Homo-oligomer: A and B are copies of this chain.
């Protein structure tokens, strides 16, 4: 079986780590009897600097026939974030209705948590982040510009369709895990959007009597994530809250160098897109010191999505083995190995 994959390495260390993820995925394909047909796209801030656009006008169309997308990272000094990200990452998430941003975390072997005394099994959870609407809205703008009474509006938009489907996804996922969903809210401060979110959460929860449903204000939830992470499993959150919670979850489980994510279109109508949670880190780009683990694990999520679950599981096992051995670690993990050496070690350890 052949899967057609679009690779968009992007900027900075996105390029460094995507090469390694491809290396590992190709090795897994060879071993497990399927093949990956890669097409690479140079969409990036470099392209923006040359052409004035992060991707071509028909970029969405060009990608739409692929079975999956592996994205590095975008963003580079000199190009404003809202240009680079809103010129590539955000429009792709939306055009392909990748309304689920799935961010599983666990403490990998050989790494320690910043939290005192927490063991790996207390630190396993998944953030189900709404990925298509909410606080990330392009609606808004500046008024009375240049005057002392100048102000800016920023709209958040929560649709019934959008809220319902992400919460439903979280409950379905909880059925495959520990039957427990925690919803991030802030209905005491954001009195329109979050009471609505809570209302739909209660409606959906009523349809899953087998799943324990609870809600928690996002301020209390960040506190709880560091004080009692063992009492969280599936956390469902709006776009912004999910962004914040998933970085915190990554930080308490070995750091951003280890955290993969999937931008998923559950219907399969459009391609899904996989990426590390970390950004392009221009300050360390091209030096061969970036940690490729997050992107390799994003690649494993891509294989899961393609139905190649045995290969995906083998990649995760290989990452665990290499980290446990501790002989080929990048500097952020306390070693001296290069990005390539770590990628090659994971590819070589596949079994």
- A327: chain B residues within 8 A (beta carbon): none
A226 and B161 contacting across the interface, CB-CB below 8 Å: no
A150-185 toward B: CB 8 Å interface, digit per residue (1/0)? 111111111111000000000000000000000000
A86 and B191 contacting across the interface, CB-CB below 8 Å: yes
The chain B residue sitting closest to A160, CB to CB, is B150
A226 and B255 contacting across the interface, CB-CB below 8 Å: no
User: Which of A29-37, A39-47, A216-224, A318-326 forms contacts with chain B?
Assistant: A216-224
A113 and B114 contacting across the interface, CB-CB below 8 Å: no
User: Which of A1-9, A136-144, A300-308 forms contacts with chain B?
Assistant: A136-144
A189 and B222 contacting across the interface, CB-CB below 8 Å: no
**A344-B241 Cα distance, complex, nearest whole Å:** 41
- A219: chain B residues within 8 A (beta carbon): 243-244, 246-248
Judge whether A85 is part of the interface by a CB distance below 8 angstroms.
yes
A159 and B151 contacting across the interface, CB-CB below 8 Å: yes
- Chain A interface size band reads 35 or more
A68-94 toward B: CB 8 Å interface, digit per residue (1/0)? 000000010000111001100000000
- A220: chain B residues within 8 A (beta carbon): 247
- A154: chain B residues within 8 A (beta carbon): 155-156, 158, 190-194
Judge whether A196 is part of the interface by a CB distance below 8 angstroms.
yes
A81 and B161 contacting across the interface, CB-CB below 8 Å: no
Given A116-B114, A192-B140, answer yes or no on A223-B240 (Cβ-Cβ < 8 Å).
no
B135 and A75 contacting across the interface, CB-CB below 8 Å: no
- A187: chain B residues within 8 A (beta carbon): 81-82
A151 and B140 contacting across the interface, CB-CB below 8 Å: no
**A196-B151 Cα distance, complex, nearest whole Å:** 9
**A219-B241 Cα distance, complex, nearest whole Å:** 9
The chain B residue sitting closest to A85, CB to CB, is B188
Judge whether A236 is part of the interface by a CB distance below 8 angstroms.
no
Given A115-B116, A188-B85, answer yes or no on A223-B195 (Cβ-Cβ < 8 Å).
no
B188 and A81 contacting across the interface, CB-CB below 8 Å: yes
B196 and A222 contacting across the interface, CB-CB below 8 Å: no
- Closest Cβ of chain B: how far from A80's Cβ, in Å? 8
- A244: chain B residues within 8 A (beta carbon): 218-219, 222, 244
**A135-B188 Cα distance, complex, nearest whole Å:** 12
- A116: chain B residues within 8 A (beta carbon): 112-117
A-B contact pairs, 13 of them (CB 8 A): A85-B189, A151-B158, A151-B159, A152-B192, A153-B192, A153-B193, A154-B158, A154-B190, A154-B191, A189-B240, A219-B243, A223-B247, A223-B251
